[in-house]
Amino acid sequence: MTILLPDSTALPAPLGGTLISRLRRPGHDFDPAELAGLPRLALGERSHADLELLATGAYSPLRGFVNEADYLSILSRLRLADGTPWSIPITLPVAREDAARYRGRVVLTFAGQDVGWIDVQEAYAARKALEAQEVYRTADEAHPGVAALYAGGDVYLAGEVALFEVPRGAFPRHHRTPAEVREVIEARGWRSTVAFQTRNPIHRAHEYLQKVALELVDGLLLHPLVGRTKGDDVPAETRVRAYEVLLQGYYPQARTLLSVYPAAMRYAGPREAILHALSRRNYGVTHFIVGRDHAGVGNYYGTYDAQEIFSAYAPGELGIQILKFEHTFYCNACGQLVSPRTCPHDASHHLVLSGTKVREKLRAGEALPSEFTRPEVAEVLRAAYAEPV
């Protein structure tokens, strides 16, 4: 594996050259009285997460929800209309019968509170069948991303956004904006940083990949996704706690940063891998790990489709180096963590537990093998799934 290191401490430029900031503080940047009488639009969890990622620059160069030209270009070309790489349209759906109400500045609300606004510049019809096929590679509504797509409104609003306050949520100690992550990386003097994303509890295979990467670069950004996931996924609070206990004893503190990624999962597999990589560039990261079935669900994508899709771009075009790892597992015969590249033994010697199997074991009160996960992590998971007394 060839690792290209930057020749200075300068962080990679955000996509588009500028880290977008659309934070507007009430009483400081504008008078809240100006919002009186404006139409209001209630956001769902995913759109609320998108609002934060847009406004804090994680989705640079986007300044708001995409217009029709960008939408169609992303679907057909994996690029914005101006040619900038981008893989998933960030849209704001509304019901067709309500679309006419939203003109000019519209206040965005979440859980009954004003959280931002959008200056509506365009409203256009969603091409849901096309979007499902291009983004998710299926029209099957059993796919959670496709189901969410069809459950949303049929008209998309486009325009620049503003966010009133970063919603630190359940993880205020670990919730950092891209600008704040960049400050930590610069303060620590890391010339190169690798990011690792997961929506599942950490296990030894994850730890193995992270530490192999950490042998090659200066710093590791552990960046678990904490936005909305499927109902049967392990809750974000449990996953973050598992990272916390693991970091206490098994990672070098000066070379590791735990920070949450507030995005919601789309389960778009290959296209979502690109989005995850590009947004990590905006956080100041130079390298990004893409493993087996990144952002996948069910059997909708091939095992390594999320790695292969990066060949759609010219070398260096994305501005972040992708580290591609094969499936890693514990081999009883080898007595260690291995991959198909390093293990000569057949599957009968391999300990492989899917996320579904792990959840089944936890719900049944069964112990997780120490070869699969650290005892400290297993205890966090056991406590989270224990039946209340």
Residues forming the active site: 199-200
DSSP assignment, residue 132?
I
| CA torsion angle 174 175 180 185 (round to 10) | 40
Helices then strands, each counted (H, E), the chain: 11, 14
Strand 350-351 vs strand 329-331: parallel, antiparallel, or unpaired?
Answer: antiparallel
Taking CA 280 as the corner, what is the angle to CA 49 and CA 176, rounded to the nearest 5 degrees? 55
Distance (Å, rounded) from C-alpha 199 to C-alpha 240?
A: 10
Q: Which CA distances in Å does 334 have to 156, 207, 339, 345, 370? A: 54, 18, 11, 8, 16
Distance (Å, rounded) from C-alpha 159 to C-alpha 196?
A: 31
